[in-house]
Amino acid sequence: MDAKKVTAIVTRAVPYGDTDMIVTLVSIEEGKLTVTAKGCLKPKAKLRYATEPMNFGEYMLAGKPERLVLADCSQIDSFSPITLDIEKYYAAALILEGLQKLSPESQPTLFMHAIEVLKGMAYEGKSAEDSVTKFLTYALTDNGYEVDFSTCNLCKCILDGDAVFSEKDGIVCPHCADYTGTGIDAITRAYLAGENLDIPTHLKNNANMVLADLIGQVLGLRLGKHYFTELL
């Protein structure tokens, strides 16, 4: 039976039968992998921890690529403090969802950025909303869409008010915008540009909805449905 080791994080796990789990991993080497964890629902299963969402570790997998089986796991981190804060827990769920959807194949830079953001929430006191902002920004830039919320991408003027996102031209000033763009108000633009981070939480959440919408436009992915529903 073939075997391989990958560095991966669990993004999803669902029961399969009475005692097994189907686990979705995102690995730094191969991207998304679907793995069967046999017997992990048994009361004394030694690898139960390896099927928990957010578990980050070195996974030993056996079997053919289309039928991988969990053989062993050496845990690196579980980011357990996140589970004690409901807002951070929902934010982490969005990050895992985004990482999974954006990693059908290996995306090592985005993978490490996701780990960085989870560590910030778990151990460095980073807020849920700021962490979501950081990850969604990484999701855009790591997939080739550099977003500069401080300068018009066309005329290069310094933005000090509202802006517009154009799928064709990026972030532009209202003067350069065409009718197809998505408007970004001045407070949201300043927050996303890093010019004013001291704004109320609900405005940060609005900014994150803008980022999620941009990802939907340029990458064709809808992220954070459950996260943003919980905020309403």
Q: Per-residue confidence of the chain (232 residues) as pLDDT tens digits?
A: 578 999 999 999 999 999 999 999 999 999 999 999 999 999 899 999 999 999 999 999 999 888 999 999 999 999 999 999 999 999 999 999 999 999 999 999 999 999 999 999 999 999 999 999 999 999 999 998 878 899 999 999 999 999 998 878 889 999 999 877 888 999 999 999 989 889 999 999 999 998 998 898 888 888 877 787 766 5
Count the neighbouring beta carbons within 10 Å of the beta carbon of residue 207: 24
For 224, which DSSP code? Answer: -
Residue span(s) of the chain under CATH 1.20.1440.120 come to: 91-231
The Cα–Cα gap between 23 and 35 comes to 5
Helix (H) / strand (E) element for 22: namely: strand 20-27
In our burial notation (b when 16+ CB lie closer than 10 A, e otherwise), range 5-27 reads: ebbbbbbbbeeeeeebbebbbbb
Of 120, 151, 150, 152, the residue nearest 133 (C-alpha): 120
The residue assigned the tokens 């991408």 is 153
The Cα–Cα gap between 116 and 72 comes to 24
What is the CATH topology of the domain spanning 91-231?
A: de novo design (two linked rop proteins) (1.20.1440)
Of 143, 146, 80, the residue nearest 110 (C-alpha): 143
- Residue pair 159/150 in contact (Cβ under 8 Å)? The answer is yes
Cα 125 to Cα 71, 84, 85, 169, 192: the distances in Å are 35, 13, 11, 36, 20
* DSSP state letters, 157-178: PBP-S-EEEETTTEEE-TTT--
Residue span(s) of the chain under CATH 2.40.50.140 come to: 3-77
Of 38, 31, 32, the residue nearest 15 (C-alpha): 38
Helix (H) / strand (E) element for 203: namely: helix 201-219
Q: Which two tokens stand for residue 132?
A: 């979501």
94 backbone φψ class: left, alpha, beta (φ>0; ψ -120 to 50): alpha
Q: Return the CATH superfamily for domain 3-77.
A: Nucleic acid-binding proteins (2.40.50.140)
pLDDT of 36 reads 97
Alpha-helix runs per DSSP H in 75-200: 86-101, 108-123, 128-141, 186-192
